A and B are shown apart, each in its own frame.
Chain A
Amino acid sequence: MIPAFILQHAPALLLCVPMLGAFATPLLGRLGAGIRNAWALLAMLATLCVAGILTSEVLANGTLIYTFGAAAPSFAVPLDSGGIPIRIIFAVDAMGAFMALSASIVGTAVLLYSIASQKKNSGQDGYYGLLLLLTVGILGMVCTGDLFNFFVFLEINSLAGAALVAYRVDKGVAVEAGLKYAVLSTLGGLLVLFAIALLYGQYDALNIAMIASRMQFTLLDKVALVMLLVALAMKAGSVPMHFWTPDAYSMAPSAITAFLVVASQASLYGVFRVVFSLYGLALDCLTVGWIIIILGVLSMFVGVTMAIPQKDVKRLMAYHAVSQTGYMLLGVGVALAVLGNQDLLAAYGNIAMQGGIFHIINHAMYKGLLFLTAGAIFYRTGTRNLNRLGGLGHSMKWTMIFFIIGALAIAGIPPFNGFASKLMIYESVFLFNPLLSIIAMVVSILTLASFVKVFHSIFMGPALPEYAEVREAPLPMLIGMGILALMVILFGVFPQQVVDILVAPAAAALTDQGGYIASVLGGA
């Protein structure tokens, strides 16, 4: 069926394919726009296939180890190294595979959409090259089992992202947003690097599993933990480090914004990987769990209240992205708070964790969809100002339908996917602390209110004379939105299956620190 070669080398191919795609794009761009677009699309589709194969392989056979440069992928610990994994290792467990799959689905939709939305822009060689490079950064972050390698991919992610934010030079405003993103990302990257240096100085290892197995939780480890959490939560757009998101998300081309959501989630994955796999039970789980919960609640509440008064549709959606990130932090934070206690973990911790992780993929789908619809509206009307838009329901019917799907999903209305994950979070968090659950529900109601306003001001009302020429968005853009809308509905109608197949193994992989260490170091 699938050649053994691909199965064996899937983690490497997951990076190798988009990287080759990115590096060859400028060269193929000299042959013509059509060839380059086809090449970029082919590279992204191949990446999606590899991610699918990798996920099914990981779900069937457990964590996959790939050792770069070794004689065979499974030689993680060389015989003459004294038991230390010296090479760069990819350790793809169910959580990493889950993130990789989610990122490559959104990536494919975004690339299809870009083919139409970027048609009139110059500098597309760089655009597609950077888009594929951003994919490499995200996929590398979620697959790697090496801390320094994680930093390298974080930097690839940041630099490609910053360049793409500044891609549409719009009277310097986009460049300012890109510079802000680049400076903050660099600051975060340096914090991560310093934390890695602290860990390396103490444990003589960069491999996550190796450090985890030697973890003492000294004062230096605590300092490193704070730096890692602050930097990665900042990159994930959590309050109070969220201030770059509205600028970067609103100024980037819409397709890029949809993908930046996924790029932020790779940092969120970094937070989870650090607290669960790197530190695990060595932590004071209750304290760190509550810190993450408080970050989550703040993000939810501040995000949604800041979103309500916005007049720029993409800025509004950016604040909602901050708010939704809070749900993921809340769910996973509750699970972390009860990590040491098997009874509580079984009673509600696991469900909270699954809800938080399920919300990651759901958010990537519906928020990506919403940003793409906002991009389609901007593409046709040339404005993002809600006060000037109106009556587009007459001319952009498909875009309107996709917007409704995305808006109901983000507000947590059945039968869309946001409802499924939010319900899991409400129910489990209620058992932990009812107040948190009530805040989460209030935030959902405010989200709904905000999107009703947006829907009304964009699509309802009589057709405006200034938009008489406006037509439906081009077909590739509709296909890109359609893929995401289909996933939103499918995940909403069959949530149990998705949770059983994808989400539960991912949550189990995160909480099982011993299993992660054993899969890299072999037995232990």
Chain B
Amino acid sequence: MTMSKIVRTAAGWLFPFILVFGFYIVMHGHLTPGGGFQGGAVIATGFVLLIVAGSYGDISRRITKASLSGGETLGLLLFIVTAITGLALGGTFFANWLADGGLIFGNPVLFGANPGDLNTAGVIPIMNLAVGVEVLGALSVIVLYMLSGIAEEGA
């Protein structure tokens, strides 16, 4: 069963915007409300939109459960490896080894009212990204599994 052509086209146009918005929430997690889980959930809704507009068969051919759960695992590993790196560099587990380092996300945080600098907070944006990837994989896989039990109408 598929929706009308209007819905399918609109969903196709909306999908990249949902992706961008989701990743915006993930990457701005240390500055604005949001973060990894929220952004990941927004991205997963993009997949849900595609599934609702198209058919389960189409979508599950293009986006496999294996690749989504692989993304989930990669997110988890990125998280734990970031935490262990703090340990390996002579600090403690979960130490913020990138903060104020001048490298990526390494700018010192300004005091007082300011528009916010994306390039701050050290490992926190990386953790957000890891959680975002993990959540988008996990939630999409859950949706795919829930829909896989639904039989095609008239089939």
- The chain A residues found within 8 Å of chain B, CB to CB, are 9, 12-13, 15-16, 19-20, 23-24, 26-27, 66-73
Measured CB to CB, the closest approach of chain A to B47, in angstroms, equals 20
**Cβ-closest chain A residue relative to B93:** A12
**Which B residues lie within 8 Å of A72 (CB)?**
91-92
CB pair A68–B93 under 8 Å, yes or no, is: yes
Q: A68: nearest residue on chain B (CB-CB)? A: B94
Provide the B84-112 mask, 1 if CB < 8 A to any CB of A, else 0.
10110001111110000000000000000
Decide yes or no whether B119 CB sits under 8 A from chain A: no
* Alpha-carbon separation in the docked complex, A203 to B105 (Å): 35
A133 to chain B, nearest CB (A): 10
Quick check: is B80 within 8 A (CB to CB) of the other chain? yes
A26 close to B69 (CB less than 8 A):
yes
B83 within 8 A of partner (CB): yes
Q: Are B87 and A69 in contact (CB under 8 A)?
A: no
| Closest chain B CB from A153 CB (angstroms) | 15
Measured between alpha carbons, how far is A120 from B70 in the docked complex, in Å? 24
Report B-chain residues with C-beta under 8 Å of the C-beta of A70. 91-92, 95
A residues less than 8 Å from B70 (CB atoms): 27
Asked if B92 and A16 make an inter-chain contact with CB atoms under 8 angstroms apart, the answer reads: no
**Smallest Cβ-Cβ distance to B74: which chain A residue:** A27
- Contact yes or no, A23 B73, CB < 8 A: yes
Contact B92 A73 (CB under 8 A): yes
Known: A67-B92, A69-B93. 16 other contacts (CB 8 A): A9-B87, A12-B87, A12-B92, A16-B80, A16-B83, A20-B84, A23-B76, A23-B77, A26-B72, A66-B93, A68-B93, A69-B92, A70-B92, A71-B91, A71-B92, A72-B92
Query: Bound complex: CA of A68 vs CA of B84, how far in Å?
Result: 11
Which of B86, B92, B95 counts the most chain A CB atoms within 10 A? B92
Q: B87 to A26, Cβ gap below 8 A?
A: no
Distance A20 CA – B84 CA, assembled complex (angstroms)? 9
Residue of A nearest to B97 (CB): A69
Quick one: which of A16, A27, A67 contacts B87, CB cutoff 8 A? A16
Given A16-B84, A16-B87, A20-B84, are A27 and B95 neighbors across the interface (CB < 8 Å)? no
A to B contact number (C-beta, < 8 Å): 52
How distant is the Cα of A9 from the Cα of B94 in the complex, in angstroms?
A: 12
CA distance A15 to B87 in the complex (A): 13
**Pair A66/B92 contact, Cβ less than 8 Å:** yes
Q: Which residues of A contact B73 (CB under 8 A)?
A: 23-24, 26-27
Bound CA–CA A66/B70 (angstroms)? 33
Of B69, B74, B79, B92, the contact of A9 (CB 8 Å cutoff): B92
- Are A20 and B80 neighbours in the complex by a CB distance under 8 Å? yes
Query: What would 11 A/B residue contacts be, using CB atoms closer than 8 Å?
Result: A12-B87, A12-B93, A16-B84, A20-B84, A23-B76, A24-B77, A66-B92, A69-B96, A70-B92, A71-B92, A72-B91
Complex CA gap A68/B83 in Å reads 10
A68: which B residues are within 8 A, CB to CB? 92-94
Bound together, the chains give a CA A86 to CA B55 distance in angstroms of 50
Residues of A within 8 A of B91 (CB): 69-72
Q: In the assembled complex, which residues on chain B have CB atoms less than 8 Å from the CB atom of A12?
A: 87, 92-93
Chain A nearest CB, measured from B24 CB (Å): 26
Determine the distance from Cα of A69 to Cα of B95 in the docked complex, in whole angstroms.
Answer: 4
Chain B 60-75, CB within 8 Å of chain A: the 1/0 string? 0000000001101110
Bound together, the chains give a CA A9 to CA B83 distance in angstroms of 13
B89 to chain A, nearest CB (A): 11
Bound-state Cα–Cα, A19 to B83, Å = 11
Task: Compute how far the CA of A16 lies from the CA of B96 in the bound complex, rounded to whole angstroms.
Answer: 16
Q: Smallest distance from the beta carbon of B68 to chain A beta carbons, Å?
A: 12
Bound: A67/B92 CA distance, A? 8
* Chain A residues in 8 Å Cβ range of B95: 69-71
Question: A74 → chain B, closest Cβ, in Å?
Answer: 10
Smallest CB separation, B73 vs chain A (Å): 5
